[in-house]
Amino acid sequence: MVPPATLANVVPAPPATLPSRDFGDPSLYLNRELAQIEFNMRVMAQAEDPRNPLLERLRFMCISCTNLDEFFEVRVAILKHHLAFGDVQVGADAMPTVEVLARIRERTLALVKKQYDFWNETLLPELEREGIRFPRRDAWTVKQRRWLQGYFRNETLPVLSPLGLDPAHPFPRILNKSLTLAVVLKGKDAFGREGHMALLRAPRSLPRIIRLPAEVAERAYEFVFLADILHEFMDELFPGMQVKGSYQFRVTRNSELSVDEEEVENLALALRDELRGRGYAKAVRLEVGSNCPKAITSMLKQNFELTDQDVYRCEGPVNVSRSTVIYDQIDRPDLKYAAFTPRVHPALADEASLFDAIRERDILLHHPFESFATVSELVKQASLDPGVLAIKQTLYRAGTDSPLVDHLIEAARQGKDVTVVVELRARFDEEANLRLANRLQEAGVQVVYGVVGYKTHAKMLLVVRREAGALRRYVHLSTGNYHQVTSRIYTDFGLMTADPEIGEDAHLLFLQLSGLGPIIKLKQLLHSPFTLHKGLMAKIEREAEHARTGRPARITAKINALNEPAVIAALYAASCAGVQIDLIVRGACTLRPGLAGVSENIRVRSIVGRFLEHSRVYWFANDGQPEIYCSSADWLDRNLLRRVETCFPIRDPELAARVHDEALANYLADNTQAWQLEADGSYTHLEPGDATPHSAQSTLLAELCG
């Protein structure tokens, strides 16, 4: 592991005079939406990197596609909504919405071209060399065509419902991101109606990619897109008529929910009603096959109320992201990342009591390198321990069939007081969380939905246990969700502690979430929307003051995104004072590093690799008495000002040093997966050159899982 950075090189020379600069100047800020696209470019670069295993490159391409879908469903949808209703809200960069949308299209066209160039020119040929093939329709053998025709007739045809377009059958509602084919027909049907145009929606119940069985496959693994099957046998849907052509398209719709929480009496019911219409909200993007005629494209644009600027032509399947499903069907470990086994914490050995271990000393978990089973085991032991009286937990994303949820239900059945704060508005997990809330309530768990107007994004677990006649609180705080699956692919930190002050703080936070309590004063935790933003600003200013007086001053932070203008302005001011600032920002960052007179002392890098960088860690030099915090919050306006978030100190010196070493110094030394943000918003991929190559994630795998 890279040794923690020392403070010897961070003592600035006190500036004679501080530069006078308006940190509200729009030229000092990058655009949030464009910064998000640049993150997707970095993800796509992982697909293009030949050093990555081939099937992992496929997954990175698909991730860039699904990220782009969500970007249009949310960010572009919001921009278009504001523009349509004249409620134009500009960010700190002050770029007009019309210009933002134009720049988004320019960068999206470049990204889409990268995706399909990679698919056609690199991925398909390299997969074929490995015995993995997507045979084109004109390359199907006689046996393959016969088998696929049988599949079409037996498995597909019975569930298809083509819709002819005529005065009695107007253009139908098309579900968000569903594969649809526009079919051009010639001739008359059984009723004597002249054929012209029909639409065929691919049923959601059918797989989008079908693997050919061994008896007809010519390679070890051969796959066919459902769209190709529909194209090839389309004429069987329209007997007596001639199919002149069929063309794929996919529409992306606004997926932001607009429940007015102040006006509804029951949030769960209102959200359920809103979800019913989400798939048919206003269209924001139209993808069509590259061979789609202009006349059909114009017809689709008109029906979806879109313009030329909203249309993207695809040099391949419009739903190419669906190809990710082949990853789990292919047994080729040599084409995937090497498997690893997360380290199990010693506290789980010999069926030991986690309560005894936590009472003796705080436990730090670094996922995915250390097993999430420790967290699940804590809830399991709490559910069965006769001394445990109450369990309280927040759930933002828990996943399906979560063992942790099973333990909470068992605790309720055991007669314990169980309270769960379920965030219903976790984007794209709303339906899953509604089902989760119902399941918990049916088992006797007290479910609350947090605070109206503020998403509960905090990750907290509190266990109240009677010991020797007194009550003791055990707390788990985390930077990531209580999710069994993502804990293996996201990097996150979790802290288990019996610290009385942190336990009291967690208790007060749960009271605030479940009741109508007043503003509370916490002893150790910072929390949004009350003290986290103010506390962060104060700590940045404290470093600036240290620098102004010639004392050690440094800030290092690892976050997912940064756009809060006041925080950025404070960082600029600290840089001008001489504070050395290193930011590891995975995604969108609107701060411009390296600007003369403003941010010469700020460096920003992004790490994109095997695992999604998700942990948030803030470190302040504090004149030789460093402080380190982990948090559920990024430095975004929504997290710091409009959500319920927690930020917790790592008080054990040994664990604090470990967090700094693993999450900060280690990542600042990365020269293989790191991208450096330039002042103009572009990113430069860092190369080791003559230095020893260092991958932060690989280092952690070797040291924690080896």
Alpha-carbon dihedral 185, 206, 324, 395, rounded to 10 degrees? 130
Domain boundaries, the chain: 98-335, 346-520, 527-704
pLDDT at residue number 474? 98
Over residues 277-335, the pLDDT tens digits come to 556 789 999 999 999 999 999 999 999 999 999 999 999 999 999 999 999 999 999 99
Mean pLDDT of 124-150: 97
Query: At 628, is the secondary structure helix, strand, or coil?
Result: strand
Mean model confidence pLDDT for the chain: 91
| DSSP codes of every residue in 374-387 | HHHHHHHHHHH-TT
Pairing of strands 455-456, 643-649: parallel
pLDDT at residue number 19? 46
Say which residue, 6 or 106, is predicted with more confidence. Answer: 106
User: Using CA atoms, how far apart are residues 455 and 451, in angstroms rounded to an integer?
Assistant: 7
- How many helices (H) and strands (E) the chain has is answered by 20, 27
Asked whether the domain spanning 527-704 has the same topology as the one spanning 98-335, the reply is no
Please list the residues that pair with 643 across neighbouring strands: 455
Catalytic annotation present for 81: no
Mean pLDDT of 501-505: 98
Please determine, looking at this structure, whether the domain spanning 98-335 carries the CATH number 3.30.1840.10: yes
- Residue 14 confidence class, pLDDT cut points 50, 70, 90: very low
Helix runs in 91-130, H state only: 97-117, 124-129
pLDDT at residue number 349? 75
Of the listed ranges 94-103, 144-153, 348-357, the least confidently predicted one is 348-357
User: Using CA atoms, how far apart are residues 378 and 495, in angstroms rounded to an integer?
Assistant: 12
With contact defined as beta carbons under 8 Å apart, do 583 and 605 qualify?
A: yes
Catalytic residue among 457, 546, 614, 660: 457
Of the listed ranges 193-197, 380-384, 594-598, the least confidently predicted one is 193-197
Domain 527-704 adopts which CATH fold? Endonuclease; Chain A (3.30.870)
Identify which of 155, 137, 206 has the alpha carbon closest to the alpha carbon of residue 178.
Answer: 206
pLDDT at residue number 497? 98
Over residues 188-246, the pLDDT tens digits come to 765 555 668 899 999 989 999 999 999 999 999 999 999 999 999 999 998 888 999 99
* DSSP state for residue 70 in the 8-state scheme: H
With contact defined as beta carbons under 8 Å apart, do 664 and 584 qualify?
A: yes
Identify which of 258, 236, 262 has the alpha carbon closest to the alpha carbon of residue 77.
Answer: 258
User: Using CA atoms, how far apart are residues 58 and 46, in angstroms rounded to an integer?
Assistant: 10
Orientation of helix 32-48 relative to helix 97-117, angle to 10° = 10
- Give the pair of three-digit tokens for residue 521: 């004063």
Identify which of 272, 225, 273, 224 has the alpha carbon closest to the alpha carbon of residue 250.
Answer: 225
Whether 111 has a pLDDT exceeding 80, the answer reads yes
Termini Cα distance of the chain: 13
Mean pLDDT of 593-603: 96
User: Using CA atoms, how far apart are residues 296 and 457, in angstroms rounded to an integer?
Assistant: 44
- Domain 346-520 is classified in which CATH homologous superfamily? Endonuclease Chain A (3.30.870.10)
pLDDT at residue number 424? 78
For the chain, state the CA radius of gyration.
28
User: Using CA atoms, how far apart are residues 537 and 533, in angstroms rounded to an integer?
Assistant: 6
Mean pLDDT of 132-152: 97
Query: At 258, is the secondary structure helix, strand, or coil?
Result: coil
Over residues 454-498, the pLDDT tens digits come to 889 999 999 999 998 899 999 999 999 999 899 999 999 999 999
Omega before 346 cis (within 30°)?
A: no
- Give the pair of three-digit tokens for residue 688: 């080791």
Q: What is the pTM of this model?
A: 0.92
Q: How far is Cα of residue 484 from the mean position of the Cα atoms in its chain?
A: 15
User: Using CA atoms, how far apart are residues 55 and 126, in angstroms rounded to an integer?
Assistant: 10
pLDDT at residue number 264? 45
Mean pLDDT of 23-43: 96
Say which residue, 204 or 425, is predicted with more confidence. Answer: 204
Q: Name residues whose C-beta falls within 8 Å of residue 346's C-beta, 6 or more positions apart in sequence.
A: none
CA distance readout (Å), 338 to 52, 55, 401, 705: 11, 12, 26, 12
Residue type, 27: S
